[in-house]
Structure formats: structure tokens, C-alpha cells
Structure 1
Amino acid sequence: MAAIGVFDSGVGGLSVLAALRAALPHERFVYFADTPYAPYGERGDAYVIERTRAVTGELIAQHGIKALVVACNTATAAAIHLLRAEHPTLPLVGLEPALKPAVAASRTRRIAVLATRGTLASAKFAALHAALADQAHFTLVPCDGLARAIEVDDRAQVASLCERYVHQAGHFGSADGQVDTLVLGCTHYPFAAEELRRHTGAAVRFIDTGAPVAQQTHRLLQAAGRLAGPQAIGGVTLASSGPLEPLQAAALRWLGPAGLHQG
């Protein structure tokens, strides 16, 4: 049974993998972390495009993937259109910060978006933001260093950066004029949700892209006739352009033994 490729610059895409496994328990997945080149969010487009093409080529050549989830907002913004042109028969799912679900969820119409500088500077994000700008007020916060701190599990740095960026995002709460919805615009950030929650309060809604991406992946596989059957045994293979041990440790830490079951 061919696997679904899932790739990110590092370990952040494991948050998307968790949602994919919950929605598609019979599927096999290959998760690829491009760790030596992470994080993409503070790199230029040319660099991100080169790495995205290289990883996609390796997943196709080495693992024969039947679909690809680009579990990285920055790589999606920079390169998904090129991948679609270069691999027209491969079902492709990309990510974008979940502004549309945030608009639907917000009652105060004030939304904060935490994302990498690369994502916020992209033309793809600018178009999405412009299309929704009349429906809510968005505060955009480039979170330099946060993905890297999560990547290396520097908990003191994660705590410090979360406090800084939530403070920059504005006043949180459910009253008029307060931010009641927070978009986690990088796949790493769900792993810092508990720390972010310390500063936003319990009433603020956090929105990420895991569940919508899993739903779209299911739809594309079904349309292509590539869904695994109910008798198939799902599982995960981990791969990396660098040492595998840090990825294995992160997967065990954030997904647990059940989430890391090899198939």
C-alpha cells in the first residue's frame, strides 16, 4: 500500500500528522523533516522552493508516495503552485493560516495571527488577508525564533517568546474590542499552545489547520480512488535529511507511542 507523504522543514508538521492519522487511521504515512535546513519561515522564497522540490523528489523516488501534504505554511506559500505544475497527477494538499475559520469563530471580530515572517510576507497570505479584511480586524505578529525554539525544545525560550508575541498581539478576551480568536499560523505553534494559553486566558479560541487539512486530504484521495481500505493497517515511517534521532524523540514526545506506531 502506497503511503501519503507529509513534509515540513522540521518537527512542526507532526501536529498536522496527528490530525491526519486521526482522520485516516488505515493510511500509511511517511513524515519527512528537512531539519538541517529549518526553519523555512525566516528564509527567502528561492531557498524554500529549492528545498521543497528536493524533498518532494525524494519522497516520490524513495517512497513512491500516492499523495503529498506540504505541512508547512511557508513552503505552501512559496512553492505549492510549482509542485502542482510539476506533478499534475499527484494529489497535493498545502497549508495556509486558518483566517477563514477564524472569521467564522470570532464574535468580537478581532483576530490575532501568529505566523513566521516568511508566511506573513508572502503574496498568498496577502491575498487571503485582503479578501477577509472587511470581515474582521486582524493583528499580524511575525514570531521570529519561536519555531526554532519549539524545534529544539528550548522550553525557557518558548515561554519567553510566547509571552512576548501574545503581548504584541493585543488585549485578549471576549469583550468588545478584545481579541477573542488566535490563529496558530505555523505548524510548530500548536505544540506551544499550553504556554500561549497562559497569556491569552481560557476563553480565547485557538485555530490551527490540522483538521481542515486532514479533511481535504480525505476528499482528494477519495476522488482519486486512492483511499486505503478498512482492512489496511496504518502506520508511520519517519525520515529526515538529517539525523533521525531528534525527529524520533519529538514524535514520541508530542504524538506518544500510539501516534508513532510503525506500519
Structure 2
Amino acid sequence: MSVEALTHPLLSGAAHGFLGRRGGVSTGDLAGLNVSYSEDNPTLTSENRRRAVDAVLPGGMLQTCFQIHSPDVVTVCQPWADADRPRADALVTDRPGIVLGVLTADCAPVLFCDANAGVVGAAHAGWKGAFTGVTDATIAAMEALGAIRENIAAAVGPCIAQKSYEVDAAFETRFLEQSPENERFFRAGREGHVWFDLEGYVASRLRDAGLARVGMLGEDTYAQEERFYSFRRATHRNEPGYGRQISLIALPG
């Protein structure tokens, strides 16, 4: 099975792909294109990462960060060793051939591109990062490299959908305290619980930041076991591991 790399027309100015679990060599609960070293045989993970990059930009130099559910962004000027990757949740660059990658397993991957300025970005937007402004910080970091906010396009990739994402009332209260308008991202559920639209919230943050071109893939990681890894699905099943997929973007070299 070949690697599946989903794309979005808004990002046509860059080499990019939202990848799932198809086309990899990992086995067992992690079967497929798992790109996380934390639970897998490192030889298999390395091969999966090589396949992922080749599916988007053959010969590209993959750069990822040690993700911590923060709003922190790193500007990539030159490649670093995987052991030296910084603690952050987003990356930006204006260097051709550098492939920016973010790992997810229900959180929302967001890819950015200003084709005119030659600047790209990638963000890992779980609810914590999205809430504290990781996408806003990514846009600002791209501007520091010469991007123009009005020219930046962004797409939200596969993530857990509202119909699969039940949270408690305290979770909702946190978002309503941020803005009463956030009520539109919640749907009532069983007593003391609601369903949260992470994808919609992230897209709204992008539009509120001044981006005129924002896309959503509308792919539910939880509901599509054969295509995507899902932390919540694995947790509900008491599985020992859950794997991660990767989303990639680069300026062709």
C-alpha cells in the first residue's frame, strides 16, 4: 500500500501533505506509517519518516520539534539533529528543501503558506495550543520572515471531529470565559458533558487572525481506524500504544 498524502488546493504553492497511517512498515497496534519514536522500533520509525518525506518532497530535510502543547514557534534556518530538536509546537522557514513536520493523533495539524514571499509554516494545534494561540504565533513568525498576513493561506488537516470529541462542562467553561462566541463550537451531550468542534475552533482562530484563505479537510481521525492514528480511540480501547501521523510542508529546493 502506498503512502496516502492528502493535499489542499490553498497550499498549492508549496510541497505538502497531510499523511495518515497508510503505506508504512510498523506492525501491531501501530501498524502503518507511525512516525513517533516513543513507542516503536526506531528502525521502523526511521523508514516511515523517510517514506513520508519522499511522498511530499523527495530528498527534503525533515525537521520536527519536541511537541509540548504550547504556543511556541521555532524558525528553522538550518537543519538540526533529531536529538537536538527544540521544545515547541510550530515551525516556520523560508529555506527551500527544509520539510517542516508536525505529529498528531487527534490534535489538529495546520499547514501555512505564503507562496509570494516564499515562507511556510506548520503547527500542532491540540486544544491547549490552539487555546493559547499557537496559530497566531505561527503567523507572526512567518511575518518576521517576510510573509504578508493577507497572503498567507492555511489548511487544517485530519483531527478528531466534534461527533467524536466529548469533553466535560469545565472544559467548555474555559472556552466561554475566553469568549462567549466560542459557544458555537460546543454541542450539548449527556449530563455534564458537551461535544467540542476542534477543527472549527482552529479555523476560526485563523480567520480571526486575519487570514482570508482558510481550508479544512474534514477528516475525523477517531472514526477512521484504517487511515489514521487516534489517541482517544486507543485510550477507549485500553491499547498500549496509539502511534502518530505526520503533516508536512516545504518550499521546493
- Fold-level similarity (TM above 0.5): no
Q: TM-score, normalised by structure 1?
A: 0.31
Query: Of Structure 1 and Structure 2, which has the larger fraction of its residues in strand?
Result: 2
Using CA pairs below 8 Å that are at least 6 residues apart, which structure has the higher relative contact order?
A: 1
Structure with the bigger percentage of helix = 1
